[in-house]
């Protein structure tokens, strides 16, 4: 039986371990932490449970597919529900908007609250759908770094519609041209943050993200986001995958340009193939220091990061839902601070995730668990202690002002996550959440491939390589990598 070693147990690494096991490989996953999941884990403190990392769950069919691949019914092991309300939005001028999960309800809400004719949104959604339908076969389902990818009917169809993708316009420019209403523009600009990027720079192609959320819906796992990790790790174990925790990988062993295995905690483990689910930068910097880092990695700037407060709140707030956004008054200035000045605005947009709205055991009775996040720059050596104090004050003022209640009086427990701690816990380069940013208009073509051109038997998967970050995209990265490995076995 052929052997495979996966470095890191992020969601992409776990998914790939399942796929490789089904392909007949003996799979070992080396993880430096005590727990699996990378960013998808949880924090428990004083009776509160917080999902520590990603809080948005879309396209759950990609998780279900892994159970079905193994001949299992996903409902026996992992369950979720679709949200009727995708998100609640709040602006400083008193405007409030509910993004309903059903498209018709959302369009009606926008028409009534913002006086935007429904035909405007319908046209926008239709264009976003075309972008998604035409580009998915090329950008999300296959390797962009294999010539044969570009010789298919789907690819030719995608290329023929190239002028419809708005690649050389920014997302903000597209939103401004098509939507016109300032609140709606800001709302749709927000989707650039799903890939850790700046809406004033990222390609207009990214309007397809809005299609993903609005068309396919948003969901919540019944046992929290961490249950994605837990259920898939258990599935992998049932397939014979071995997880080795507290097993820091020191080096990828390369002989005659072939990956032969790894050194972990001073011991050599041989393997027929090696896959890094670790961020691509430390993969080269730490595990392969003698190998020249590809120029595309050197040239790509990291995505944004986050400053997160985990607050146990001693009261319930009926005006809030699972996902809530309190917008900045000046969105452009906020992103200039992040990507130009490597700072956090004095008036940042605030995201609040409250899983206890749906999962009652996540907080004590009459309490709520608040995951409070602001977009932040990646770590360049900023004084994070100083920034935490400044941001904490501005965030509390914004929330209290909008909710008309002093939230600071209700905080009974607190944990804080910064770009520095994100990097230390997950090995994410400089704390960036999505690997390289997508601020360059053709950034999809500049992500690192899922395989090495120079080293045989070496592969990569996860949010820092093709096709990108986020749970569903990382699951697709695992699928692409598995197909590449399967092709070398034929």
Dump pLDDT digits (tens) for 114-169: 999 999 999 999 999 988 888 777 666 665 555 454 445 555 555 555 566 778 89
**Please, which residues have CB within 8 angstroms of residue 256's CB and are 6 or more apart in sequence?**
none
Domain parsing of the chain, residue ranges: 3-37+227-300+436-488, 118-206
SS3 78: coil
Domain at 3-37+227-300+436-488: CATH code: 3.50.50.60
Residue 356 has pLDDT above 50, yes or no: yes
Rounded to 5 degrees, what are φ and ψ at 225? Answer: -60, -35
Residue 81: CB atoms within 10 Å: 11
Q: How would DSSP label each residue in 407-443?
A: GGGGEEEEEEE-HHHHHHHH--GGG-SSSB---STTG
Dump pLDDT digits (tens) for 371-402: 999 999 999 999 999 999 999 999 999 999 99
What's the full length of the chain, in residues? 490
Quick check: 327 and 349 in contact, CB under 8 A?
yes
Rounded to 5 degrees, what are φ and ψ at 238? Answer: -65, -20
Structure tokens at 214: 């609005």
Compute the average pLDDT of residues 69-77.
98
DSSP structure class, residue 490: -
Predicted TM-score (pTM) of the model is 0.94
Can you tell me which residue has the tokens 């896959």? 275
**What is the tally of helices (H) and strands (E) in the chain?**
15, 20
Can you tell me which residue has the tokens 């997160």? 308
Of residues 181 and 163, which shows the higher confidence score? Answer: 181
Compute and round to an integer the Cα radius of gyration of the chain. Answer: 22
Can you tell me which residue has the tokens 């602001």? 374
């Amino acid at each position: 039986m052929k052997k495979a070693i996966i470095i890191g147990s992020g969601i992409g690494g776990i998914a790939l371990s399942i796929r490789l096991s089904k392909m007949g490989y003996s799979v070992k996953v080396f993880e430096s932490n005590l727990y699996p999941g990378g960013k998808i884990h949880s924090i428990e403190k004083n009776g509160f449970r917080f999902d520590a990392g990603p809080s948005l769950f879309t396209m759950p069919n990609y998780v279900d597919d892994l159970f079905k691949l193994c001949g299992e019914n996903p409902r026996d092991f992992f369950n979720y529900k679709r949200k009727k309300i995708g998100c609640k939005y709040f602006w400083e001028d008193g405007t409030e908007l509910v993004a309903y999960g059903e498209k018709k309800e959302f369009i009606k809400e926008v028409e009534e609250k913002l006086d935007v004719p429904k035909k405007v949104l319908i046209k926008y959604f239709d264009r976003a759908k075309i972008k998604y339908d035409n580009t998915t076969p090329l950008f999300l389902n296959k390797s962009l770094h294999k010539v044969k990818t570009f010789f298919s009917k789907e690819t030719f169809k995608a290329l023929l519609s190239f002028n419809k993708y708005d690649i050389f316009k920014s997302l903000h420019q597209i939103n401004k041209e098509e939507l016109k209403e300032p609140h709606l523009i800001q709302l749709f600009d927000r989707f650039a943050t799903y890939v850790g990027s700046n809406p004033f720079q990222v390609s207009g192609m990214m309007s397809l993200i809005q299609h993903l959320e609005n068309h396919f819906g948003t969901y919540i796992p019944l046992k929290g986001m961490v249950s994605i990790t837990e259920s898939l790790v258990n599935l992998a174990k049932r397939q014979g995958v071995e997880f080795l925790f507290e097993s820091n990988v020191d080096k990828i062993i390369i002989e005659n340009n072939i990956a032969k295995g790894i050194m972990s905690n001073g011991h050599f483990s041989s393997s027929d193939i090696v896959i890094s689910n670790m961020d691509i930068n430390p993969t080269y910097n730490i595990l392969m220091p003698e190998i020249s880092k590809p120029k595309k990695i050197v040239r790509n700037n990291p995505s944004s990061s986050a400053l997160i407060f985990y607050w146990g709140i001693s009261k319930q707030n009926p005006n809030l839902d699972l996902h809530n956004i309190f917008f900045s008054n000046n969105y452009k200035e906020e992103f200039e601070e992040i990507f130009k000045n490597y700072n956090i605005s004095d008036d940042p947009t605030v995201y609040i995730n409250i899983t206890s709205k749906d999962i009652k055991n996540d907080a004590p009775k009459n309490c709520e668990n608040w995951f409070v996040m602001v977009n932040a720059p990646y770590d360049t050596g900023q004084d994070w202690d100083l920034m935490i104090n400044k941001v904490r004050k501005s965030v509390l003022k914004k929330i209290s002002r909008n909710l008309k209640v002093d939230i600071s009086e209700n905080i009974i427990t607190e944990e804080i996550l910064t770009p520095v701690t994100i990097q230390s816990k997950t090995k994410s380069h400089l704390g960036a959440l999505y690997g390289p940013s997508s601020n360059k208009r053709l950034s999809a073509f500049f992500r690192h491939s899922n395989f090495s051109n120079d080293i045989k038997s070496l592969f990569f998967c996860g949010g820092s390589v093709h096709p990108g970050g986020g749970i569903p995209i990382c699951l697709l990265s695992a699928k692409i990598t598995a197909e590449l490995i399967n092709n070398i076995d034929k």
